[in-house]
Structure 1
Amino acid sequence: MRVLLGTVVALVGITGSACQSSVATASPLLAPGSPFRTTILANAALDPNSEAMIARISRGGGVNAGLIDFALPVYQVTPDTPRHKVSCTMSWGRCPFDGVDVPIPVGARPHRGSDGAMVVLDERTRQAFEFWQAHDNGDQWSTSWGAVTNIDGSGWDRGATASGASRLAGVVRIEEIANGEIPHALAVATSDACAGTFRPPAISTDGRSSRSDCVPEGTRIRLDPGVDLDALTLAPAVRTVARAMQLYGAFVVDRSGSPLSMGFELDTTAPSGSIGAVYQQAGLRWDYDDLPGVPWDRLQVLA
């Protein structure tokens, strides 16, 4: 199950019947003790196979930033947002939306990538409604699968990703790029996710690789804290991501089509085909930007 390319959020204010994007400061997501909100000790132990695993996932020379096709729109709702019955088309058990009146704003749309992903965020009830391959059928919504998660939880509460991570966990937000700080671990995906095995906090996997240098979903990676970012010529957005990768690292939450990919918030106000003004002003260039200038071969796999 290829659920998403990364964990990305677009905060959207609802005015009348139209969806409007917002870069306003949002309430903190996830509990303070969540793995996504804990920093990594500089002397943290590394996996004995770290060097081989990193050589494998860094072979592309960069990290693909999903800024359009696989950037995940998340719609923030109000008590007046219309409610819908949502059916699941996959027979993987009881649909998480059974018996739930799901708030979906008028004008909400999943991203245009094959995952068809979307999240509806209800700050009032502290719930996230997560969709994989969502479809608006006119009078009723359907989705291949989904989840209803607690946004004050750990971020690993059976969310709608292959590893069990919530789609909200690890999001790189427009607000964070604008402010130059990401105060949490990120979420990444790789084509080299291991088949049949995963590591806590992951609870499942869709990995397919049987190579000895595959990376289990749930694995936490980081950028070597010994890398002097101030000595590198980096675009502001790339520096912000690299710093977060040193302090908090990233969790492998899914399988993707590239060696290493990272999702970003979708800028729903951007013209078609554009990544949006905030990203452009911070030095990002296009969808699947490879975040150049960072020695990505100096990533490390934590034990």
Structure 2
Amino acid sequence: MGKKHVFGVAALILLSAGPGANAAEQWDPRQPGPGELFTAADGSPNYFRSAIPANPKLDAHSADIVKGIGDETPRVNGPEWQITVYDSSNSDPEYHPSFSEDWGCSVGDGIHIPDYATREVPSPGDEWVVVHNKDDGTVKSIWGASKAGGKWNGSCGGTWPAASGGGAESKTEGVGTGAEVQAGAGFILNSEVQTGAIDHALYFTSTNSCRSFRAPAGKSDGDGSGSSCVPMGARIQLDPAVDCTGLDGASAGEKMICVAMQKFGGYVLDSGGPGPISGIGVAGDDLTDPDRAPWERPGDGMREGGILAKAGLTGSPDALAHIPWDRLRVLSGWDGR
């Protein structure tokens, strides 16, 4: 279960003026605010919110892995591969989905999904819908989600504590992504772009992922081997010596990703493309798009005149090309120790 083809580029969500403005006046309250997810406040390993220490211990094959990644510019998931994440409460409609797979799929005693929620596209595809229930403190998700006759069903689903680190071992029940992490863990939230800072590690996919895996991953859907493939769950970091604020020609969103990659890095958590390291995860759904159609089609922030284009994050394949991706390194473990 995972993204096998991630062909979109540069897709972050910006709901009004731009990074750094008053966030309380910008992001839609129907979607999570910064700092609400994968916090590890319950004592789980803080995979995503822990900053990488100075002089971290590197993987013995770090140079080989980076060489295997090559010089292809990573891409951020386009509108067809953006997992939608919404805040919900016990007052929202409750569903008891049927699942077509027999992998221990479960969302417990039900999942509350707001009527305005949409699923990830395309169809057929991953089709995630993810909800953060602020009343019961869970993140529940349906993979292969569809709605018919007023009922949500799907291929599978899972439940994580919202206050956990999102890793495989903190799962309450069911299943997650291709690495068995919480759906949406590490994804760039709309609210984070609006506040001007991404305060967590990012989510990556790779076409060069290994069969082997490490925490926070609980499994791998990759098939690579040897010293140059990327272990599932590997944490990668951009050289802290890079001057992110001084990247000539870079957009505000690109600079934010640059800084986040230095402070928190990113994890390879699914197998997909188009490149050896790509598929930066982002919570989708441009709520300003007049063509969005719950439950089936989220708003496309990359449309001409859309909020992504206004932020300078277009569909150009060189949208993240100002970051020197050849200056990556791979940590030996998630905490860099």
Measured against the shorter chain, the TM-score band is 0.7 to 0.9
Aligned to 2:86: 75
Deviation (angstroms), 1:290? 4.2
Of 44, 47, 72, 1:35 maps to 47
- The residue matched to 2:312 in structure 1 has which SS? coil
| Residue 60 of structure 2 corresponds to residue 48 of structure 1 | yes
Deviation (angstroms), 1:9? 10
| Residue 272 of structure 2 corresponds to residue 245 of structure 1 | no
Aligned to 1:265: 283
Does structure 2 conserve the Cα–Cα contact (< 8 Å) formed by 1:21 and 1:269?
A: no
| Residue 217 of structure 2 corresponds to residue 202 of structure 1 | yes
- What TM-score do you get using the length of structure 2 for normalisation? 0.78
**Aligned equivalents of 1:104 and 1:123: distance in 2?**
12
Give aligned pairs, total.
Answer: 291
Change (3 A) 1:270 1:208: farther
**Aligned equivalents of 1:219 and 1:42: distance in 2?**
18
- What TM-score do you get using the length of structure 1 for normalisation? 0.86
Aligned to 1:126: 137
Deviation (angstroms), 1:78? 2.7
Change (3 A) 1:110 1:58: farther
Aligned to 1:95: 105
CA-to-aligned-CA distance 1:8-28 (integer Å, 9 cap, x gap): 998x9xxxxxxx775784552
**Aligned equivalents of 1:256 and 1:186: distance in 2?**
15
Superposition pairs for residues 121-270 of structure 1, below 5 Å? 121-156=132-167, 157-158=170-171, 160-195=176-211, 197-233=212-248, 234-258=250-274, 259=276, 260-270=278-288
- The residue matched to 2:228 in structure 1 has which SS? coil
Amino acid at match of 1:262: I
Deviation (angstroms), 1:82? 0.8
Identical pairs, percent: 29
**Aligned equivalents of 1:27 and 1:194: distance in 2?**
31
Deviation (angstroms), 1:42? 2.5
CA-to-aligned-CA distance 1:212-236 (integer Å, 9 cap, x gap): 3111111100101121223321211
Change (3 A) 1:180 1:243: same
CA-to-aligned-CA distance 1:144-194 (integer Å, 9 cap, x gap): 121111011121123511212112321212221222211111111111111
Deviation (angstroms), 1:257? 2.5
**Aligned equivalents of 2:31 and 2:98: distance in 1?**
31
Change (3 A) 1:116 1:87: same
Does structure 2 conserve the Cα–Cα contact (< 8 Å) formed by 1:116 and 1:134?
A: yes
Contiguous gaps of at least 5 residues in structure 1: 13-19
**Aligned equivalents of 1:198 and 1:75: distance in 2?**
29
Amino acid at match of 1:283: G
Of 286, 297, 301, 2:326 maps to 297
Of 315, 318, 330, 1:286 maps to 315
Of 101, 105, 112, 2:114 maps to 105
Deviation (angstroms), 1:286? 2.5
Amino acid at match of 2:302: I
Instruction: Name the Cα RMSD after superposition.
Output: 2.8
Deviation (angstroms), 1:205? 1.1
Aligned to 2:22: none
Deviation (angstroms), 1:288? 6.7
Does structure 1 conserve the Cα–Cα contact (< 8 Å) formed by 2:71 and 2:325?
A: no
Amino acid at match of 1:268: D
**Aligned equivalents of 1:81 and 1:275: distance in 2?**
29
More strand by proportion, 1 or 2? 1
Contiguous gaps of at least 5 residues in structure 2: 16-27, 292-299, 333-337
Amino acid at match of 1:293: H
Deviation (angstroms), 1:298? 0.9
Does structure 2 conserve the Cα–Cα contact (< 8 Å) formed by 1:50 and 1:300?
A: yes
